Amino acid sequence: MTQGVLLVAFNNQQVDYVNIAAWNAQRIKHYLDLPVAVVTDCVDHPKIHCFDQVIHRSKPQSGSRYFHDLDQVVDWHNHDRSHSALLSPFDQTLLLDVDYIVNSNQLRDLLAIDQDFVCHRYAVNARTGDKFNTTFGKYHMPMYWATVICYRASLKSQVIFNTMQMVQQHWSHYRNLYGINRAAFRNDHALSIALTLESGNTLQTTDIPWNLVSVLPEDQLTFDHDKFVLEWQDGKRQRYITIKNQDFHAMGKSYLEKIIANQI
């Protein structure tokens, strides 16, 4: 059975997602020793050679989202994740957001789980350890995270991704049905709804057995030798923690781009 990592990278005017994906592909190969495929519309990016396979696809429709670290609203090309997942060349795939930093070999444990589809149920703030966005919508439906998904080429996975596509295509309907205030389509919401429907509204799912550690965009992220440094302002005092041998979701794209630029 072939195993590998799939990244989806569509650039906008503010963020070079392909560059972030290429940097992370090197980390994936170092820590996980797995091939990396990317889905992108780029054909001549200078880092395109960093991937084992390139799956070309037209840039999907964009939504708009405010990025805290950029302090502006940007085009957000996030409408192709469920479609791209079905293009995976592997029998078993780790589908990762490009800003999920592989910093250990922990994800290899997911490949040994005897399940067709697993994802994170809870995300925690790397600084405080507190869970956040645990539910969504008027009826406080459980939130599942699309940041890390491990899935096999199976009927169950196909149904989940196809259902995500249905939710996306009829987003206005599902947004009203679940009482979601936010207008922009979000893959986490689509995944959560898809898991609800696929399970027959029982939500008897198998979740990744650890929380999704996340560095929020309002916290500054830097890199120092062999560790990441998370800094924040606490009144008049500047505080920090270090992150080492721990995977995490770096939600502040501008900080991540600076780290990458400084390592070149």
Report if residue 160 sits inside a domain.
Answer: yes
Torsion (CA) 67, 69, 70, 73 in degrees, nearest 10: 20
The answer for residues whose C-beta is within 8 angstroms of residue 151's C-beta and 6 or more apart is 85, 92, 93, 95, 116, 117, 118, 157, 160
Percent of the chain with pLDDT strictly greater than 70: 92
Report if residue 44 sits inside a domain.
Answer: yes
Does residue 96 surpass a pLDDT of 80? yes
Percent of the chain with pLDDT strictly greater than 90: 73
Report the CATH number that the domain containing residue 158 is assigned in CATH: 3.90.550
For the chain, give the mean pLDDT: 90
Q: How many domains, in total, are found in the chain?
A: 1
- Chain mean position to CA 176: 25
Write down the pLDDT at residue 43: 86
- How many CB atoms neighbour CB 103 within 10 A? 18
Amino acid at 91: D
Report if residue 190 sits inside a domain.
Answer: yes
The average pLDDT across 230-248 equals 93
Write down the pLDDT at residue 64: 55
pLDDT tens-digit profile of 33-54? 999 999 998 888 999 999 999 9
Confidence of residue 226 (pLDDT cuts 50, 70, 90): confident
What single DSSP character describes residue 207?
Answer: B
Confidence of residue 220 (pLDDT cuts 50, 70, 90): very high
What single DSSP character describes residue 143?
Answer: P
Write down the pLDDT at residue 66: 46
CA atoms within 13 A on the CB side of 70: 17
Does residue 251 surpass a pLDDT of 60? yes
Pairwise CA distance, residues 256 & 241, whole Å: 17
Report if residue 82 sits inside a domain.
Answer: yes
The answer for residues whose C-beta is within 8 angstroms of residue 262's C-beta and 6 or more apart is 223
Report if residue 254 sits inside a domain.
Answer: no
Pair 164, 194: CB distance under 8 Å? yes
pLDDT tens-digit profile of 54-75? 999 887 665 555 455 444 455 5
pLDDT tens-digit profile of 144-203? 999 999 999 999 999 999 999 999 999 999 999 999 998 888 999 999 999 999 999 898
Write down the pLDDT at residue 63: 56
What is the extent of the structural domain holding 52? 3-217
Report if residue 211 sits inside a domain.
Answer: yes
Write down the pLDDT at residue 77: 47
Report if residue 127 sits inside a domain.
Answer: yes
Nearest one of 116, 121, 200 to 161, comparing CA atoms: 116
User: Regarding predicted confidence, which is higher, 252 or 214?
Assistant: 214
Pairwise CA distance, residues 48 & 61, whole Å: 22
Pairwise CA distance, residues 258 & 237, whole Å: 24
- How many CB atoms neighbour CB 43 within 10 A? 8
Pairwise CA distance, residues 19 & 25, whole Å: 10
Amino acid at 177: L
Report if residue 227 sits inside a domain.
Answer: no
Does residue 92 surpass a pLDDT of 60? yes
